[in-house]
Structure 1
Amino acid sequence: MACEGVPASSSSCLSIESTDEFLPRRSKFVQFLHEIGLLTLLKAPYDVRILLIQHTARSFAFGTSTLITLYLSALGFPDHIIGLFMTATLIGDLVISSVLSLFADTLGRRKILMVACASMCLSGLIFVLSDNIYVLFCSSIIGIISPSGKEVGPFRTIEESTVAHLTPDSMRSDVYSWYALFGRVGMALGTVFCGSLVEALHDREGWSNVGAYRVIYLVYSLMALFMFVASYYLSEECELESFRKRVRGADDAISLLLEDVEEPQEVAPDDTLIAEEVVASKPRTTRIAEYLPTLSAHSRQLLLILLPLFFLDSFGAGLSGNGWLSYYFSRKFHVKEGSLGSILFSANVIAVGAALVAASISKRIGLVQTMLLTHIPSAILLGLIPTAGNFQIAVLLFVIRAGTHEMDQAPRQAFVSSIVLKEERTTIMAIVGVVRTLSISTGPIVTGMLAEQGQMWISFELATAVKVLYDIGILLLFLRMKLESH
């Protein structure tokens, strides 16, 4: 069995010999490792491991920016300006990530990742050196700054597409689960590092709130620099052209086998084919249109179904990101930065374990069922947080929600990558990412306006409503879909 047209001997693909038939003879511990997908991860190619390391470092950096709302408040920005700032940041990310992602397959995925890392590093340095609102606005729009501690930029789109063509369908969910887990670990460490360092610097004589937060963005820039180096060491196997060459090689091998069985027949030359070969042999021009990807009718129809659903889910995420939840706890319960960092760290640690559970569940009940089973409780728990009468209950609800909040992430990634055409994955994921970012960017404005009026709880209830609508749509449209590997 080959990996999407790749010979089984190819070093760029996971070894996909099934381990299931050997598991009964092995220990319970080995079966457990298989269940959580660790055996799959150990077989992952070199490039997948680098992508996981890079994802962890980036999540750490984004985790340090979770308290950006408090930083902007320390600079003297009013709540509605903070909401506008976060929206402007997301819109800038929308433009940057969409442009870079759409050209990733033609210009080179590694090059695009390095450009994005450089932009992220530069943005962090500007946040260190300036407190001018206009400069920060421009930096957040042009560069890459996470306004809520969550994933922004073209990184995830390119990485998910690369992982998809380096791994077979049957093992992709496991790899995506560990991808999500590594991200959660990085984010957890980033949040607790940020909260603890800011509070420690507050307690030191001579350090202001603004100065403490600037140290955080210096760390942000250093992590971006590390990611730049990691992207440089990715191999050619990550590129789409490398995947196409492997597929063509497999097809040529099959053709040689067929020649031994059947005598070749003379075929009259086809003028159309000759014309296509002549066009293909011409040197490529520098016109931008030639670098833009195209979509099949199948993909266009699929996007018409998926995009409205993802728009709803992302709009809810924009209304209730961790940055706003931190701000809510700080305002309502007067929680210090160190405690907020510890709360977010605990939530992310729970999410790490939940990601492994999601991988196991998806093997048993399917990807779509896992998405629904985990996402609906998360939405309901979000709506219950504003109803909590005291800080302890609110934190308990927040932490429990963290256990299910992103359990649907890996199954959703595997689901989308399984239903799109292989050579259109990056483009499809880029378009989905653009729509999700555009939807998320509208949420902070609403939450900022409500926060200024002391009605932030309404944004959480609205987020719950739109997320439940998303779940209903997934339930009605995709529940009965059967995937080849599930």
Structure 2
Amino acid sequence: MTHRPGGSRVTAWLLPEGVQGGVPTLLVARGLRGLCDGFIAVLLPGYLLALGFGQLAVGLISTTTLFGSAFATILVGVLGNRFASRVLLPFAAVLMMATGVAFAGLSSLWPLLVVAFVGTLNPSSGDVSLFLPLEHARLAEFATGDARTALFARYSLVGALSAALGTLAAGVPEWVAARSVVLPLMAMRIMFVVYAVSGAVIWMLYRRLPVRQFSIDTPRMPLGPSRGIVTRLALLFSVDALAGGLLVNSLMTLWLIQRFGLSLGAAGQFFFWAGLLSAGSQLAAAPLSRRIGLLNTMVFTHIPSSVCLIVAAFSASLTLTLTLLLIRSALSQMDVPTRSAYVMSVVTPAERPAAASFTALPRSLASALAPTLSGALLGLGWLGAPLVACGALKIAYDLSLLYLFHHVKPDG
């Protein structure tokens, strides 16, 4: 590994050989966002139920949030090449601050829906927010080839670990309410204030990002020669996102509560261990992809995880169900860093911001449709339906991706 004067072992891990500076700031910001996303995704259904809303409202707010993320992604794709990321990333952090303050203070459905649309709330286990295409484009500037895959793996690992830790914080309101005079609803509102304060810290981090260093002479542009590849990838990714949207963490929490009577604290502990397994799998994605390729890593780790999900839908045992879901967590996220690296490797450097945006856009739109459908299915009483639908759609996506792109090789 290249020696970095004065660098620590941690810095060396954050900046593998072939990676340029500026990465630690993005990784710290990603970690802080992951902490917030972790507790918000688990806390959100309990918070909405405490406000007096039903199952359909939980799905509706999740859907509205994801539609808002899709709209923001459209803007990044259309306008992102006109504005520097040093402007757009701080703006996203300001939206995060406003989102936390609004959710902490509002109690009516329609105002919450408006904030869910324009804000940055993330009810899922992955990152589907405005931040994603902006940070991906910056990360791709700092590395090439295998170093880029390793960098995206580190980025995904930091997000997964921090989100896992964040899920534990979902039990804080219950703990505080049981040991003080603070009402449970007020304790949950305070967590949204924490979300807003975290946005302020992220804003300060983004302001420290250096000017563009990698490929500085290459102007950014909308999609050009890679349009066909990006379009096909985006359509396939939308199928995967539609499936994943049926089981965002907030709805999985609702399912566990209704199927097995889990408390928010117990659900938070489950998602913590699931997040740790996901984090470990993402760390293994880079060396595995070097052995079998990016595409094979995406597909052949994804299919077994979907099978586990389908089997869990028919399990009547809490222990067996949680075991299957943990196995799924150990496999299902290995495609996250490899997918990001694959997209950045099959387009030209100038197209990367647009490619990151336009592959994220259909994912956001498709995943936005799913939570309301899932909430409606849960309300009808067939609790296993979202799990079966999610697993079947993901298997179809994996097989289609392998068939259509086995001949497309990533560049360095």
What TM bracket, shorter-length normalisation? over 0.9
Question: What amino acid is the match of 1:465?
Answer: A
CA distance in 1, matches of 2:374, 2:112: 21
Question: What amino acid is the match of 1:431?
Answer: F
Query: Which residue of 2 is the match for residue 243 of structure 1?
Result: 215
CA distance in 1, matches of 2:397, 2:249: 20
Q: Does 1:129 align with 2:105?
A: yes
Pick one of 158, 171, 184 that aligns with 1:209: 184
- The alpha carbon displacement at 1:124 in A equals 0.5
Report matched runs for 1:252-267 at 5 Å.
none
Query: Which residue of 2 is the match for residue 73 of structure 1?
Result: 49
Aligned residue-pair number: 404
CA distance in 2, matches of 1:198, 1:461: 32
CA distance in 1, matches of 2:302, 2:280: 16
Query: Which residue of 2 is the match for residue 41 of structure 1?
Result: 16
| Structure 1, gaps ≥5 residues long | 1-13, 17-32, 249-291
CA contact (8 A) 2:14 2:23 kept: no
Comparing 208-217 and 184-193, the one that deviates more: 208-217
- The alpha carbon displacement at 1:81 in A equals 2.0
Query: Which residue of 2 is the match for residue 350 of structure 1?
Result: 277
Report matched runs for 1:24-103 at 5 Å.
38=13, 41=16, 44-67=19-42, 68-103=44-79
Runs of 4+ aligned structure 1 residues displaced above 4 Å come to none
Comparing 140-149 and 453-462, the one that deviates more: 140-149
CA contact (8 A) 1:98 1:154 kept: no
Question: What amino acid is the match of 1:407?
Answer: M
Deviations 1:206-227 (A, max 9, x none): 3333212112111111111111
Query: Which residue of 2 is the match for residue 369 of structure 1?
Result: 296
| Structure 2, gaps ≥5 residues long | 4-8
CA distance in 2, matches of 1:90, 1:322: 13
Report matched runs for 1:389-468 at 5 Å.
389-468=316-395
Q: Does 1:233 align with 2:208?
A: yes
Question: What amino acid is the match of 1:300?
Answer: R
CA contact (8 A) 1:41 1:178 kept: no
Change (3 A) 1:192 1:101: farther
Report matched runs for 1:274-289 at 5 Å.
none
Deviations 1:104-142 (A, max 9, x none): 332110110000110011011111112122221111111
CA distance in 1, matches of 2:129, 2:367: 13
Q: Bigger radius of gyration, 1 or 2?
A: 1
Question: What amino acid is the match of 2:408?
Answer: M
Report matched runs for 1:303-322 at 5 Å.
303-322=230-249
Question: What amino acid is the match of 1:221?
Answer: A
Q: CA RMSD in A?
A: 2.1
Change (3 A) 1:293 1:116: same
CA contact (8 A) 2:64 2:113 kept: yes
CA contact (8 A) 2:238 2:363 kept: yes
Query: Which residue of 2 is the match for residue 164 of structure 1?
Result: 140
Change (3 A) 1:451 1:294: same
Identity of aligned residues (%): 26
Deviations 1:357-399 (A, max 9, x none): 1111111111111111111111111112221221111111111
Pick one of 145, 158, 179 that aligns with 2:155: 179
Deviations 1:34-66 (A, max 9, x none): xxx948537643311111111111111111111
Query: Which residue of 2 is the match for residue 289 of structure 1?
Result: none
TM-score (norm 1): 0.79
Pick one of 306, 328, 332 that aligns with 1:379: 306
Change (3 A) 1:448 1:103: same
Change (3 A) 1:229 1:308: same
